[in-house]
Structure 1
Amino acid sequence: MKRAYRDRHGRGIRGFLLDPALPAWRTRADKFDDLIASEFAALNQHLGGRISDLDVAVLDVPESDPAPWEDGVPLARFLPFERGMGKRGRLIFYRRPIETASRRSPQPRLVIHDVVVDQVASVLGERAEDIDYF
């Protein structure tokens, strides 16, 4: 008796190798998004919700050239919103430059943590050492 899921015409198995519910299904970009979200949420909780009015986004690479005051490729940017919009602004983190910078570090997750803390500190006008929870 032949089964319906056999290897037809030598083209390999049909369907997914992994179930989409398994963790191995997630892409590197999805995992990076989760890291940024968890770092931001932990920092927001540490600061007592002082940054809950910030919007967070992740892009692969910067859309434009660095500004004259930026040194090299930016790892993140803050874009302020106009008053009355309900949000203070948007923090944009760039996945590929952060991943490149974290490859040179023995602790890649610490690089992500430092970038998030530095950006939030600059938005709040405080030193990164004062708001860091590590």
Structure 2
Amino acid sequence: MGSNRIRRRDRRGRGLRGPLLPATLPAAASRAEQFDALVVEVLEPIEARWSSKLANLDVAVDEVPDVRGEPDDEGLLLDGLVPLSRLVPVGVDRHGVPTRARIVVYRRPLEARAKDPEELAELVREVLVEQIAGYLGVDPDDVE
């Protein structure tokens, strides 16, 4: 077998490895993709109710908070010392470009606190309700 030849099978002759599950099944999604879908699912009823007031708000998911970021804790929703999310107000970025208000939800700290998927969904809902209430300037009970 020449070295210029492309190998089409693995060295034990079992064939090429592929995905274990078809991409159309929910279990084929990565944990990050599942978390993103959960945030969208939790956010939909809130957005439906407050659509006009949330039109200029973005929601983003990040893996972990940037601990080297700004020293202020304004807008942070903390669990002890670990941020679970952050409300970033309207402003200007470091390049002078205007930015929209956004809520950043931190996936890994939230997943670490949940024992099961139902608890994670409830925790994500609580975090989003708290941050949206802060953005709107209303009581969290009013958001729901």
Query: Normalising to structure 1: TM-score of the pair?
Result: 0.77
Tell me, in whole angstroms, the C-alpha distance in 2 between the residues paired with 1:86 and 1:61. 21
1:50 to 50, 53, 65: 53
* Closer, same or farther: CA 18–58 of 1 in aligned 2, 3 Å: same
Q: Which residue of 2 aligns with 1:72?
A: 81
Q: Does the residue aligned with 1:103 lie in a helix, a strand or coil?
A: coil
Give the conservation status (yes or no) of the 8 Å contact 1:53–1:86: no
Is it true that 1:18 corresponds to 2:21 in the alignment? Answer: yes
Q: Does the residue aligned with 2:103 lie in a helix, a strand or coil?
A: strand
Q: How far is 1:61 from its partner?
A: 0.3
Give the conservation status (yes or no) of the 8 Å contact 1:57–1:92: yes
Q: Which residue of 1 aligns with 2:115?
A: 103
Q: How far is 1:46 from its partner?
A: 1.7
Offset from partner CA, 1:54-103 (integer Å, 9 cap, x none): 1111111001257457541110001112389583x011000011111222
Tell me, which stretches of 5 or more residues in structure 1 are unaligned?
1-5
Q: Identity, % of aligned pairs? A: 29
Q: Does the residue aligned with 2:82 lie in a helix, a strand or coil?
A: coil
One-letter identity of the residue aligned with 1:119 = Q
Tell me, which stretches of 5 or more residues in structure 2 are unaligned?
1-7
Q: Which residue of 2 aligns with 1:112?
A: 124
Tell me, in whole angstroms, the C-alpha distance in 2 between the residues paired with 1:82 and 1:103. 37
Q: Does the residue aligned with 2:104 lie in a helix, a strand or coil?
A: strand
Structure number with the higher strand fraction is: 2
Is it true that 1:123 corresponds to 2:140 in the alignment? Answer: no
Aligned length: 126
Tell me, in whole angstroms, the C-alpha distance in 1 between the residues paired with 2:138 and 2:123. 19
* Closer, same or farther: CA 29–105 of 1 in aligned 2, 3 Å: closer
Give the conservation status (yes or no) of the 8 Å contact 1:105–1:111: no
Q: Which residue of 2 aligns with 1:62?
A: 65
Give the conservation status (yes or no) of the 8 Å contact 1:102–1:112: no
Tell me, in whole angstroms, the C-alpha distance in 1 between the residues paired with 2:143 and 2:116. 25
Q: Which residue of 2 aligns with 1:9?
A: 11
Query: Normalising to structure 2: TM-score of the pair?
Result: 0.72
What root-mean-square deviation, in Å, do the aligned CA atoms of Structure 1 and Structure 2 show?
2.9
Q: Which residue of 1 aligns with 2:5?
A: none
Instruction: Between 91-100 and 9-18, report the one with greater CA deviation.
Output: 9-18
